Chains A and B, each alone.
Chain A
């Protein structure tokens, strides 16, 4: 979705819900969308230092946006016995870094995501009279269930489903690329080894494979 469609979508949403926008925060951010102030890191950045969100360009999410962003990414990746929630793993900071980055791809996402977060709050108000973050979890699920699958979403939710799909991808990307996420997926690489032995025999047998599948002359 480009920025123009996003704005059109926002206008459509506001037109159908004239009462919902007492609070200005979300809408203002998404319709105005001034260019981001920061600069890219250029074609020769230091590759060996450690960067934190905010080091390279200012983070633009407002406290209200951060709150909704956090609630939504924790609904997508909640804590369980194996690993922490998305926000606990730093995903909100990552999302703030992402939408604030001075690159075209990230700016397209910014338009979509700010509009989407705003929509989540509006939809909470429309259905239950409260911002998304103030809803009971069951109420939040009722909204998300309508938009979590682009293929099956009702036409009225097409745009919201597009937003949700992108938001889930970014949340998952932000999460699984951290130490907590790697642990959750049981990734055990990125350590030096003396030799590379390939998969264990028992596993091959279980899968009906032999170590000699690869042809030799």
Chain B
């Protein structure tokens, strides 16, 4: 079962899932593997990683040596299709273009969404992250605890395949036995960074990424994933066997044709389709949830982009998983007499408390890494190691001047040379050219390291989106308008990142490239630019202060669920996607349960 069209849809489904990324993929997987009849609506085109991934292509085989252009913002070979900071024909509005107040919105209009090219860093939120407000009085608590979500983190890790160690560190949870795959060995710069970081009191541990460092455990995991469901076990065991392990070459951001990393298109959708319970319509731009006379959702209206026609699909339940802001947009555009402010918005909080991750970066050059013998450091593409937040106690004692933490991601190694590999090295060479430049290039190649801080943003009243009163996209659908504000908790945190990076670089005997920003407002990257959009339809304990309950079920319309990051009440420094998938699985279990009990 299959890819269908707006003309060949079934009359009625159990569940419509809008979106096919991490959230939609996980929802459709769990629901269809457990027997629900699911229709997935995806705005982008069908995408087949097995055929379309430029695995081994070298830069000179692409236009402009693979450089980024407005058509392909992260480079020619990046797996983003019909997406980027702008999507043709689908604008959004910034209230200001000033760096401090802007929100840049990254979208990918393709089957699998952003999971085709994401960084695959897969960290669990820790126990503190679910009760942030209780701990320091800021932001919101989650209506569930770490223990509620832990079994779902285990399941997602077993299903998609995540490498890492159980290091037992504060608020950096361990996984159940048999969940994690072994981490890859560190590359040389990782070891130097770890040594330098230790000198200044910063821990470095194995990274956690959704890459198969070995094949999945197809003997044991299926029964743990789908207890009591032999059909599902059989399907997933076969699919796990079909996925290859990483071959330690080719950048993950291009996607993986051998299915060795997580993309919704290579991991969630194939077994879900094999279950026979999933239909997918691509090029289907959902814009409104329709209601029946009882005020329950009856289905979803969408534009068939291939014909431009307005279509409708019906189901017992609607799950929005179109990415946080887009799900918010669909709710706000679903206006009726009953819901004049938009669907499920009786609290007035749909669109509020939008969050991204705090980002700040610094690079350095390390003399110890110069003129080394050839090394193959492709590895698993990135992040064999990382630094989890380490100053919980100092922070709680009020010593840092900002309330929440950050983790550090590292770059380094003798990567495949590209357009920028030896650009801008005049600060090291004094402007050499000729034979001297060639010698300098050999000397400095592979001697650079980079540090990216990824920190928690606290939700605030000034960061939100709403429907723009005028502008519509090319389908005639009203678009979003963004407002953005950082607080001092974020800007001071960004300045702290810069200070830490400088200390580590110097402890490695290296030199900082460029200026260390001591002014946090300068150090922080623009809102949205880390592409961890979450919030906008927060889950909470009651209907007047939140949009959904702890299963992502909207308070106002009980058969409408949100499965993506929109429900996050806080945005821990941990990259959000693993948590999105764990929540989506949990929500899907709840939907199945309610359907069995005829409560939906």
**Interface residue ranges of A40-54 to B (CB < 8 Å):** 40-45, 47-48, 50-51
State whether B247 touches A192 (Cβ < 8 A): yes
Nearest-neighbor residue (CB-CB) of A104 within chain B: B70
Candidates A176, A185, A211; contact of B191 at CB < 8 Å: A211
- In the complex, B416 has a CB within 8 A of chain A: yes
State whether A149 touches B431 (Cβ < 8 A): yes
* Min distance, Cβ A12 to any Cβ of chain B, angstroms: 23
**A55–B87 CA distance with the chains assembled, in angstroms:** 25
A41/B374 contact (C-beta < 8 A), A76-B437, A190-B58, A217-B165 known: no
State whether A40 touches B69 (Cβ < 8 A): yes
A40/B441 contact (C-beta < 8 A), A148-B432, A189-B414, A195-B248 known: no
**A53–B76 CA distance with the chains assembled, in angstroms:** 15
Candidates A75, A178, A203, A214; contact of B188 at CB < 8 Å: A203
State whether A40 touches B434 (Cβ < 8 A): no
- In the complex, B488 has a CB within 8 A of chain A: no
State whether A187 touches B71 (Cβ < 8 A): no
Candidates A90, A101, A198, A213; contact of B60 at CB < 8 Å: A90
Q: Mark B63-82, 1 if CB is under 8 A from A, else 0.
A: 11110011110001100011
Candidates B53, B63, B195, B416; contact of A56 at CB < 8 Å: B63
State whether B249 touches A191 (Cβ < 8 A): yes
- In the complex, B171 has a CB within 8 A of chain A: no
A193/B248 contact (C-beta < 8 A), A204-B191, A216-B165, A217-B168 known: yes
- In the complex, A136 has a CB within 8 A of chain B: no
State whether A198 touches B63 (Cβ < 8 A): no
State whether A177 touches B66 (Cβ < 8 A): yes
State whether A217 touches B167 (Cβ < 8 A): yes
- In the complex, A139 has a CB within 8 A of chain B: no
Cβ–Cβ < 8 Å partners of B206 in chain A = 214, 216
**A196–B52 CA distance with the chains assembled, in angstroms:** 26
* Min distance, Cβ A144 to any Cβ of chain B, angstroms: 6
Report whether over half of chain B's contact residues are helix, strand or loop; otherwise say mixed: loop
* Min distance, Cβ B258 to any Cβ of chain A, angstroms: 9
**Interface residue ranges of B358-407 to A (CB < 8 Å):** 368, 372-380, 385
- In the complex, B599 has a CB within 8 A of chain A: no
Cβ–Cβ < 8 Å partners of A106 in chain B = 64, 69
* Min distance, Cβ A80 to any Cβ of chain B, angstroms: 6
Cβ–Cβ < 8 Å partners of B51 in chain A = 48
- Give the contact stretch, choosing among B93-101, B179-187, B270-278: B179-187
State whether A43 touches B82 (Cβ < 8 A): yes
Cβ–Cβ < 8 Å partners of B65 in chain A = 94, 173-174, 177
Candidates B71, B368, B417; contact of A182 at CB < 8 Å: B417
**A211–B246 CA distance with the chains assembled, in angstroms:** 22
Cβ–Cβ < 8 Å partners of B417 in chain A = 176-177, 181-182, 185, 187
Nearest-neighbor residue (CB-CB) of B73 within chain A: A43
In this complex, the member of A152, A172, A193, A216 whose beta carbon has the largest number of chain B beta carbons within 10 angstroms is: A172
* Min distance, Cβ A141 to any Cβ of chain B, angstroms: 8
* Min distance, Cβ B394 to any Cβ of chain A, angstroms: 19
Q: Mark B393-437, 1 if CB is under 8 A from A, else 0.
A: 000000000000000000000111111111110110011111101
- Give the contact stretch, choosing among B129-137, B197-205, B450-458, B546-554: B197-205
State whether B374 touches A149 (Cβ < 8 A): no
- In the complex, A199 has a CB within 8 A of chain B: yes
**A149–B426 CA distance with the chains assembled, in angstroms:** 7
Cβ–Cβ < 8 Å partners of B414 in chain A = 185, 187, 189
* Min distance, Cβ A90 to any Cβ of chain B, angstroms: 7
Q: Mark B138-174, 1 if CB is under 8 A from A, else 0.
A: 0000000000000000000000000001111100001
Nearest-neighbor residue (CB-CB) of A40 within chain B: B71
Q: Mark B199-221, 1 if CB is under 8 A from A, else 0.
A: 00001111000000000000000
* Min distance, Cβ A146 to any Cβ of chain B, angstroms: 10
**A142–B146 CA distance with the chains assembled, in angstroms:** 68
**A97–B379 CA distance with the chains assembled, in angstroms:** 32
Q: Mark A98-113, 1 if CB is under 8 A from B, else 0.
A: 1001011110000000
Nearest-neighbor residue (CB-CB) of B60 within chain A: A178
- In the complex, B445 has a CB within 8 A of chain A: yes
State whether A41 touches B437 (Cβ < 8 A): no
- In the complex, A28 has a CB within 8 A of chain B: no
**A193–B81 CA distance with the chains assembled, in angstroms:** 29
State whether B441 touches A176 (Cβ < 8 A): yes
In this complex, the member of A97, A184, A195, A215 whose beta carbon has the largest number of chain B beta carbons within 10 angstroms is: A215
In this complex, the member of B169, B432, B433 whose beta carbon has the largest number of chain A beta carbons within 10 angstroms is: B433
- In the complex, B243 has a CB within 8 A of chain A: no
* Min distance, Cβ A14 to any Cβ of chain B, angstroms: 26
State whether A41 touches B71 (Cβ < 8 A): yes
Q: Mark A15-46, 1 if CB is under 8 A from B, else 0.
A: 00000000000000000000000001111110
Candidates A43, A98, A144, A207; contact of B71 at CB < 8 Å: A43
Cβ–Cβ < 8 Å partners of B25 in chain A = none
- In the complex, A129 has a CB within 8 A of chain B: no
- In the complex, A130 has a CB within 8 A of chain B: no
Candidates A56, A76, A190, A192; contact of B434 at CB < 8 Å: A76
A196/B184 contact (C-beta < 8 A), A213-B198, A217-B166 known: yes
A185/B62 contact (C-beta < 8 A), A176-B422, A190-B249 known: no
A188/B442 contact (C-beta < 8 A), A75-B434, A78-B434, A177-B60 known: no
Candidates A47, A190, A210; contact of B416 at CB < 8 Å: A190
- In the complex, B306 has a CB within 8 A of chain A: no
Cβ–Cβ < 8 Å partners of B184 in chain A = 196, 198
State whether B194 touches A47 (Cβ < 8 A): no
* Min distance, Cβ A142 to any Cβ of chain B, angstroms: 13
Nearest-neighbor residue (CB-CB) of B81 within chain A: A44
Cβ–Cβ < 8 Å partners of B415 in chain A = 189
State whether B433 touches A217 (Cβ < 8 A): no
Candidates B203, B249, B373, B424; contact of A215 at CB < 8 Å: B203
Q: List the 8 closest A-B pairs by CB distance, nearest first.
A: A149-B431, A217-B167, A198-B185, A173-B419, A177-B59, A217-B168, A213-B194, A189-B378
**Chain A contacts to B: CB under 8 angstroms:** 40-45, 47-48, 50-51, 55-56, 75-78, 80, 82-83, 90, 94, 97-98, 101, 103-106, 141, 144, 148-152, 165, 168-169, 172-174, 176-179, 181-182, 184-193, 195-199, 203-204, 207-211, 213-217
Supply 5 A–B pairs (Cβ within 8 Å), ascending by A: A42-B71, A43-B83, A76-B437, A187-B414, A199-B191
**Chain B contacts to A: CB under 8 angstroms:** 45, 51-54, 56-66, 69-72, 76-77, 81-84, 87-88, 165-169, 174, 184-188, 190-192, 194-195, 198, 203-206, 246-250, 254, 368, 372-380, 385, 414-424, 426-427, 430-435, 437-438, 441-442, 445
Given contacts A196-B379, A215-B167, 12 further A-B contacts (CB under 8 A): A43-B87, A48-B54, A77-B438, A78-B438, A152-B430, A174-B65, A186-B442, A187-B416, A187-B417, A196-B248, A198-B185, A208-B195
